[in-house]
Structure 1
Amino acid sequence: MTLEELRWFLAVAETEHVTDAAALVGTSQPTLSRAIARLERGLGTPLFDRDRHRLRLNDYGKVYRRHARRALAELDVAEDRIAALLRPMQDTLRLAFVHSLGGWLVPELLGAYQRESPGTGFTLHQESAAGVLELVQDGSAELAVTAPRPAGAGWGWLPLREERLALSVPEGHPLAERVSVRLTELADERFIIMRDEAGLRQITCQIFHQAGVTPSVVLEADEVATIRGMVGAGLGVAVLPTGDGRAAQQPGVRSVPLADQDAYRGIGLAWREDRPASASCRRFRAFAARLAYGPVTPAADG
């Protein structure tokens, strides 16, 4: 099946009508019908339940639609990355950052930089901690705002922030009104944590190991916001960052500071030292170094 035919399948799945889908994708109804039939023969099963007027996805079709959407989304990302590599890079900085920093630190940092250097553009990539390092490694991005610091040789690192971690608990939890809590008190709690590729997962496992505690993990998720929602629903507790202030705004969730000395994550800029840096990359690193451990927005003159 070609990419074009994959898009045709999704059009039929959305419209539930071959004629409407054919008009949407700009092909004839017989051509589209033959493409769907070829796809079903290749898979060895019908993907639609057919009646006189409509085609409705069956269970097999729903599975195929889910994966088709993911495949096309990944290909769109690949096209964007190739386009970014082909564009002149003199005034464009290719920056990757982890999901949990996309709501506060990265926008503030870029806003402050553009006020100082308004001629610079950005090509942005948002990924897991493992994903942003892969982007820098393969040249799709020059810099990554991430946590924790990359392991292994050849990585440059500029520390930007130390962000305290806290225990997120649902309202009414026995620890909800505590001023602080230690990890050694949490051996009997049910934890919701990030998936393996997330930097926060690495940090959480490390501080638990240092405290001599093996957490009981009941759920894993891809996003900090998802975990907070699950905590609010009473599905468990979680160790989460506090830098964006959203923990205090989440309905039904209380944030209790962790008293453990190592309960923080070090956020920084990462780059490959074995690759020449562009002028925009060097300027941004110098700017970030001036703001490291200080306010993101520069103070006004006078």
Structure 2
Amino acid sequence: MSLKEAAEKFQKFCSIYKEEADCFSPLFELKWPDGFRCPHCDHRQFYLIPTRRIPLYECRACHTQTSLIAGTIMERSRTPLHRWFQAIYLHAQPRCINARQLSEAINVTYKTAWLICHKIRRAMSLRESNRLLSGIVRVSDTIYCKRLTPSFDWHQQEQPLLVGASDSNNGVLSPIVIKLQSKAPLKDKYDCPDTAPFIREHVNPADVKNTIVTRRYGRDMNKKLAWMGYDVTWWIARVFLGIGPKHLQAYLNQFCYYYNRSRSTLYIQLLADCLHSPAITYPELTKPTANGRSSRLLRSARNPSQQTG
């Protein structure tokens, strides 16, 4: 799809969701697909309180009040719902989007766009966190941001990864799981991370015996898995202009989220996952690290020239 066609599709989407009220009905249907359920007592009847910016729903049995965005990544957000819809739509497109681009596309500040991006990325990460690979499972090591040098020493930007995938009958490796590994126990960049913890965490216990581990080089190399490091490096570089190791796992989760789902229904899936992911606040995302210094996320949020993510 060309940039012009993508822009036209986005404008058409914006014409459908051009104000908050346009979002109420789809939010209700996704939040309560079988009809309203009180979060406190599970009662099905409610009173509608339409006087708020976003309507409240009061349970007729216990009188608990809830809203469409309670318990979602949008909870307590001052950003209008149609801006959230636009942001989620853009995150579901093949080209993806970074915070700087999102800021311009939906007309919000960089800080707001940055926070929206990280909240959406967190919803993706939570959705991927419980994934178990099954059937015939293939596992390989690979490298993020691999440098083509003869040195055995790790380059600062190189990061060891383990990637696992279920091998279907037609040779398609899907779904996949990619996890960042520590350099500390590795002798050099040709050493392989310990695959046992990865297998315990991400492979169905009944299929551990069907797990095949290969290296990123050698006669038995699985090229699709071994070269996954190049694929994710290229994607992160193209969209976000590179990511350091501190927050790399969140972007790996985002890559897997896209890889493991059909693009034709990705927007609806992502919107539903955002509705079923709890909110995280700006202070929680930017809280100081153990040494008392602000994290790189905080610095990038304050200074958009340092990062586009």
| TM-score of the alignment, normalized to the shorter chain, above 0.5 | no
Bigger fraction of residues in strand: 1
Rg larger in structure: 1
- Normalised by the size of structure 1, how large is the TM-score? 0.25
